Chains A and B, each alone.
Chain A
Amino acid sequence: MSADQKQGPYSSNSEAVRLELSQIDASIRSAALFFVIAAITWLLIGTVFALLVAVKAHQPNFASTFEFLTFGRVRSAHLNAMALGWASNIIFAVGLWIMARLCRAPINHKGILFIAGVFWNIGLTVGIFGILRGDITSVEWLEIPKYATPLLAISYALIGVWGVMAFRFRKGDHVYVSQWYILAALFWFPWLYVVAQVMIIWFPARGVVQSVTNWWFAHNVLGLWFTPMALATAYYLIPKVLGRPIYSYYLSVLGFWALAIFYNWAGIHHLIGGPIPVWLISAGIVASVMMVIPVVVVGINHHMSVVGLYKEVWRSPTLRFVVFGAISYTLVSLIGSAMALRTVSEITHFTHFTVGHAHHGVYAFFTMIMFGGVYYMMPRLLKREWPSSFLIKLHFWACALGITIMIVALQVGGWIQGLEMNNAEIPFLEVVQNTIPWLKARSVSGLFLTVGHIAFAANFFWMLFAAGAVRAKQGPTLLGSNEGGSAR
């Protein structure tokens, strides 16, 4: 087998390679399934929290008699359920699967991986209950109380090590761009998490050094954990589905290193105008603007790889989601760079604009790409087809419309809020009341997303617990009218 690998690129056209991929899929199957089930469960739980918070934001008396349902706690429960429940579980599933496939290394001792996954989710459940109970730390993105975080850290170490092990025992010379991203993210995330926990919660640093650490961590969760994993997934799936190479290796290299160097420093833009020496803030601003480089590079690389094949993209459930996410990446990052400029930040900082921006990144970019990853991975793990193309379409449209409405509502409303807040002549209460229509629009967008998530979960569990008719289904589930063809 190794003889023919050395001559040409690793191609699944050969029977031997297909057999190898089949073994790898089988080796990660149970663990990946567990992570996907956990992720979707957290997605639904997080959605319930999200709806509660969205309504509370404009109906303050709604469900306000119970202490554990107060806004600050439910909002944090939502954030952690989504970031550590949905996003991280789905990263463990899709990221490890892609890593194993690209390294051509089956996952051994998968029992340990599975158990670590169980503990991760137990730790998270304890953490979410702790938040609702009032043990919330009120440190943004680190709300989970002290007693649950060591469990999370240990189980992460046991999960992350599998990606590194796959890489260690990889076959073949070539290391593909997705592997760089996944390897780096698996290494960066624990560093960030441990430093932030130690310097803010366990042995608090003095004064605003905490805040600097906090935003270095929080922004990098997005930049060095979610973003690389989503980019790795896009880099894997686009050429895989289209059967066309990624446009340029050089752009991949440039994009990866520019992200690695600049994203790190960008988090300080959350403290513009704050009680931090100005040079730290200026460094954060410059790094944020420099993020234009990796973003444009990745955008061009992805775009040139799909150019001309739009029909295929639209027909494949996987690519429809992935390309939506990739376009959002370009958009959200350019907006983010602009928001880091002092003149823009003066308006958008402290407003709902930033909330819209966060959802633009974590949802429209990261989550949509991961949905695409699940649509591609599951048929291979279960050896079944998705039961309903209608549910996939419903999922796509509800999520695409929902998130678009949310971003527009929060960013337009937030911009107005920022302008008014900076005009001391306008009483504060009036500023607050002028945001209410936009917050109501956000609640409506939440309903769209809920419909999308239910459609996704229904389709998934239908596939998982499939009856004979679904199991016997032949051929890929596509979203176009003309069956057959080569998409997906």
Chain B
Amino acid sequence: MKNLPLLFCGIFFALAFSFTGLILTSHIQIGSLTQTTETLEATDDLDENGMPVMVLAEGEPLYPAMPVGLAQQGKEVYISMGCIYCHSQQVRRNEFGADIERGWGPRQTVARDYILQERVLLGTMRTGPDLAHLGGRYAGDAGRDWNHLHLYNPQIVSKGSTMPPFAFLYDVRQITSKPSEEALTFPPNSEYAPEAGYEVVPTRRAKALVEYLLSLKINYSLPEAPILE
């Protein structure tokens, strides 16, 4: 090849082409999505195609909801443990894979579901199940108990799992006066239970992580992705 300007331009434009086409275009197209109500209301105004202009329904809550408090800290724990390398957080559409059939979410997730996340953790591995809708499968104290036991050692509630234990997020300590209310309740005769006189208490990081997990929910419709029920 002797035409060097052509070589340089080619090298430059090859990458510039995909950078523009993929990154800049998607940034323009979906980079400014905002929260919305579950359904939109038609107004009397018409757009250029003669269709009514749709606006947010008044007084309805906005989705996706703002993440709160402890759950946000839990996300930091999720990130620092590298959970994403075995757990995705995205639901594929009906009849493409069995995501919805498996109860991983009531509908496909779409771009708007992720707009409030400072770090998007879609993930590309499902060594473990998808977690986009974990909070729809576990909730309340029962959900907390299950997830704490499962994090402390997955074998307790999910025998045969290949998930590693995260026991280092828990303190094993001697019971002084009376047992802590936060202590994990182990099944009777569990081989993973602490010795008599000791209890397993979640650290702040464990509590935050479980709050984060329970906060993962796709329990709302979006105009572009309604829950079909």
Complex CA distance for A60 and B166, rounded to whole angstroms: 10
Are A270 and B162 also in contact (CB < 8 A) when A175-B1, A216-B22, A424-B101 are?
Answer: no
| B40 touches A (CB below 8 Å) | no
Q: Is the CB of A422 within 8 A of B114?
A: no
| B156 touches A (CB below 8 Å) | no
Are A135 and B80 also in contact (CB < 8 A) when A65-B168, A207-B31 are?
Answer: yes
Q: Is the CB of B124 within 8 A of A140?
A: yes
Number of A-B pairs, beta carbon distance below 8 Å: 215
Q: Is the CB of B31 within 8 A of A429?
A: no
Complex CA distance for A208 and B2, rounded to whole angstroms: 42
Which size class do B's interface residues fall under?
35 or more
| Contact of B82 (CB < 8 Å), options: A136, A207, A270, A349 | A136
Complex CA distance for A435 and B85, rounded to whole angstroms: 16
Complex CA distance for A287 and B119, rounded to whole angstroms: 27
| Contact of A264 (CB < 8 Å), options: B10, B14, B32, B161 | B14
| A465 touches B (CB below 8 Å) | no
Q: Is the CB of A75 within 8 A of B97?
A: no
| B112 touches A (CB below 8 Å) | yes
Q: Is the CB of A64 within 8 A of B85?
A: no
| B15 touches A (CB below 8 Å) | yes
Q: Is the CB of A60 within 8 A of B85?
A: no
Complex CA distance for A67 and B151, rounded to whole angstroms: 13
Q: Is the CB of A138 within 8 A of B18?
A: no
Complex CA distance for A208 and B31, rounded to whole angstroms: 8
Q: Is the CB of B102 within 8 A of A71?
A: no
Task: Give the dominant DSSP class at A's interface.
Answer: helix
Instruction: Report B-chain residues with C-beta under 8 Å of the C-beta of A423.
Output: 98
Q: Is the CB of A422 within 8 A of B113?
A: no
| A388 touches B (CB below 8 Å) | no
| B83 touches A (CB below 8 Å) | yes
Instruction: Report A-chain residues with C-beta under 8 Å of the C-beta of B26.
Output: 208-209, 212, 276-277, 280
Q: Is the CB of A195 within 8 A of B23?
A: yes
| Contact of A138 (CB < 8 Å), options: B33, B92, B119, B161 | B119
Q: Identify which of B52-60, B125-133, B141-149, B209-217 touches chain A.
A: B125-133
Are A274 and B161 also in contact (CB < 8 A) when A135-B80, A216-B23, A283-B21 are?
Answer: no
Complex CA distance for A302 and B121, rounded to whole angstroms: 41
Q: Is the CB of A207 within 8 A of B114?
A: yes
Are A268 and B22 also in contact (CB < 8 A) when A70-B164, A173-B2 are?
Answer: yes
Are A283 and B88 also in contact (CB < 8 A) when A175-B7, A260-B14 are?
Answer: no
| B228 touches A (CB below 8 Å) | no
Q: Identify which of B66-74, B103-111, B193-201 touches chain A.
A: B103-111
| A403 touches B (CB below 8 Å) | no
Which size class do A's interface residues fall under?
35 or more
Complex CA distance for A184 and B8, rounded to whole angstroms: 8
Question: Which chain A residue shows the least CB distance to B76?
Answer: A134
| B185 touches A (CB below 8 Å) | no
Q: Is the CB of A73 within 8 A of B82?
A: yes
Give the Cβ gap from B203 to chain A, nearest Cβ, in Å: 11
Instruction: Report A-chain residues with C-beta under 8 Å of the C-beta of B30.
Output: 206-209, 276-277
Q: Is the CB of A60 within 8 A of B102?
A: no
Instruction: Report A-chain residues with C-beta under 8 Å of the C-beta of B90.
Output: 273-275
Q: Is the CB of A273 within 8 A of B96?
A: yes
Are A264 and B23 also in contact (CB < 8 A) when A64-B165, A66-B168, A73-B82 are?
Answer: no
Instruction: Report B-chain residues with C-beta under 8 Å of the C-beta of A84.
Output: none
Q: Is the CB of A60 within 8 A of B23?
A: no
Give the Cβ gap from A136 to chain B, nearest Cβ, in Å: 6
Give the Cβ gap from A354 to chain B, nearest Cβ, in Å: 7
Instruction: Report B-chain residues with C-beta under 8 Å of the C-beta of A421.
Output: 97-98, 126
Are A432 and B162 also in contact (CB < 8 A) when A205-B31, A212-B22 are?
Answer: yes
Residues of B within 8 A of A (CB): 1-2, 4, 7, 10-12, 14-15, 17-19, 21-23, 25-27, 29-33, 78-86, 88, 90, 92-93, 96-98, 101-102, 108-115, 117-122, 124-129, 154, 158, 160-168
Query: Can you report 16 A-B residue pairs in the complex whose CB atoms are below 8 A from each other?
Result: A71-B164, A75-B82, A187-B11, A195-B19, A207-B31, A253-B1, A257-B14, A260-B10, A268-B22, A273-B93, A274-B92, A275-B122, A349-B97, A350-B88, A424-B102, A432-B160
